[in-house]
């Protein structure tokens, strides 16, 4: 696995290798398992995930602020004002 990860890292540093027809040969020469090298050459993401035991991809999404909601979420919760506090009755 360490050889595979090192090879994948080298692909990130050398884009010519990633676009090369000899990608599978370079992967095998780096000690990557033949089935992984073939999946890399085919650019088969599903096979790579399966062979490497990768988990499902996670997605991080950022949603824009809804302009119709106003400033109500921007203000922190405030202590109740004296006029808002319940009045105590004299005993």
Contacts for 23 with CB less than 8 Å, ≥ 6 apart: 17, 37, 40, 41
pTM score: 0.53
Domain ranges (residues) in the chain: 2-52
Tens of pLDDT, residue by residue over 70-88, are: 555 555 566 666 665 556 6
How many CB atoms neighbour CB 36 within 10 A? 21
Confidence grade of residue 2 (pLDDT, cut at 50, 70, 90): confident
Q: Report angle CA 7, 47, 14 to the nearest 5 degrees.
A: 25
Mean pLDDT of 44-64: 80
């Amino acid at each position: 696995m360490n050889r595979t990860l090192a090879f994948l890292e080298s692909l990130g540093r050398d884009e010519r290798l990633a676009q090369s027809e000899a990608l599978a040969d370079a992967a095998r020469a780096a000690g990557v398992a033949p089935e992984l090298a073939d999946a890399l050459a085919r650019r088969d993401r599903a096979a790579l995930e399966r062979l490497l035991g990768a988990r499902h991809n996670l997605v991080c999404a950022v949603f824009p602020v809804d302009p119709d909601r106003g400033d109500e979420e921007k203000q922190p919760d405030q202590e109740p004002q004296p006029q808002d506090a319940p009045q105590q009755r004299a005993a």
